[in-house]
Chains A and B, each alone.
Chain A
Amino acid sequence: MNLIFKIIIIVIFSTIVNARNKGETEISTENGIEVFQNEKYYLLKKNVIIKSDNFSLNADNVKINFNKDMYDIVEIDAKGEVMFDSITFNSKGSGERLNLKVKLEEIKINGIDSILSTDDVEMFSDGYIKVNNLNGKFSIKGQNSKLINEGIYIEGETIDGIFSNINNGKEIKSLNISDNSISYVRNQDSEMFAKKINFNNNTSIIELIDDVTIIRDGEKITGDYGTLDTKNNSYKIKSNNKSKVKAIIKNNE
């Protein structure tokens, strides 16, 4: 009887360990699992690997909050050398810590060298990157925060915005960039510097506030406030002191 039981356990172990069926989520850990049934969470310890049809994750340690039963996952909190790839979110990334709110479709990556990328957009930060897949809102905060999207390069301590989904890709609907030292935006023909830079896709206007500099075609214009119309490629710069708008025009000949 004991031998039969041993054989059954070994067969079940080898079957489960070797094959994940479609629709199943497989999780492996090197140092065990702690289940807190009343508190509705479990801890996965050391070299955690999660694999499902639409999601994969590697991390040192993971906490999973569940609703009623263990399979009904509400939130994943992963720490230590986190790497993930999500087909549902159309994104992948890495960082020191990842928090995924499953039903809210909100993903947040924290820590030095955080990266989150989709087919169209790459985001980087040493603080955090947060994206909500349902409403398109995103936020990048901290040192070395950057966003790169189809020829546009953005740097700033805080980059907030909204994506909209178009043709299986992501388009930036609005952007608010701020940095106590200076924010920076570069598109195909201009470089822009200001403490605050705002963009609205409906009006196609980039608004630059405080310590403004626009560099284009060898011209460098500085002032206190500026707007750049991306539709007709024109720009205006104003100064609080009317005599202070400064233009440096390079002779390229």
Chain B
Amino acid sequence: MSNVDIEEPRFAINNDEKKINIAASEGNFLNKDEILLRENVKFKSNDFIIETENVIFDRKKETAKSKTKSIFKSKNTTILSDGFNIYDQGNKITFYGKSFIVLK
């Protein structure tokens, strides 16, 4: 019997300007609103992609927090960090810990 609540979960964060699609291999409900997304977690909008291992997604607040190594990619920009927090409907992203940006 699998411990996984949702296989291949798909969610989205919507704001006036853009939509951020969220995908992962597995998901487990932590409570009514929070879901732990695990393995190949991807956030994808028209502007950027973020990849990481584990994320807690709050579907009511439309926030996402990760404490695992993350890669953000947008046009000519790569950010590496020890995790991130997406809030304000995807407008604001905080990257945690020792972080690196490469601009081309």
A28/B100 contact (C-beta < 8 A), A6-B53, A71-B76 known: yes
Interface 1/0 per residue, A72-90 and B, CB below 8 Å: 0100000000000000000
Q: Decide: A34 and B92 in contact? CB cutoff 8 A.
A: yes
Q: Measuring CB to CB, which residues of chain A are less than 8 angstroms from any residue of chain B?
A: 1-2, 5-6, 9-10, 12-13, 16-17, 20, 23-38, 44, 69-71, 73
A33/B53 contact (C-beta < 8 A), A9-B69, A25-B102, A38-B17 known: no
Please give, as numbers and ranges, the residues of chain A lying within 8 Å of B47 by CB-CB distance.
Answer: 37, 69
Q: How far does the alpha carbon of A28 sit from the alpha carbon of B75 in the complex, in Å?
A: 19
Q: Is B32 an interface residue (CB 8 A)?
A: no
Q: Decide: B39 and A5 in contact? CB cutoff 8 A.
A: yes
Interface 1/0 per residue, B6-46 and A, CB below 8 Å: 00000000000100000001000000000000011000000
Q: Decide: A26 and B53 in contact? CB cutoff 8 A.
A: no
Partner of A13, one of B69, B76, B96: B69
Q: Is B49 an interface residue (CB 8 A)?
A: no
Partner of B103, one of A17, A28, A35, A71: A71
**Main secondary structure on chain A at its contact with chain B?**
mixed
Closest residue of B by beta carbon distance from A46 = B98
Q: Measuring CB to CB, which residues of chain B are less than 8 angstroms from any residue of chain A?
A: 17, 25, 39-40, 47, 51-53, 69, 71, 74-81, 90-104
Please give, as numbers and ranges, the residues of chain A lying within 8 Å of B103 by CB-CB distance.
Answer: 24-27, 70-71, 73
Closest residue of A by beta carbon distance from B17 = A38
Please give, as numbers and ranges, the residues of chain B lying within 8 Å of A26 by CB-CB distance.
Answer: 100-103
Q: How far does the alpha carbon of A16 sit from the alpha carbon of B71 in the complex, in Å?
A: 11
Q: Decide: B80 and A13 in contact? CB cutoff 8 A.
A: yes
A-B contacts, 26 of them at CB < 8 A, read: A2-B39, A5-B53, A9-B53, A12-B80, A20-B102, A25-B102, A26-B102, A27-B100, A27-B101, A27-B102, A27-B103, A28-B101, A30-B98, A31-B97, A32-B94, A32-B99, A33-B95, A33-B99, A35-B95, A36-B91, A37-B90, A37-B92, A37-B93, A38-B17, A69-B47, A73-B103
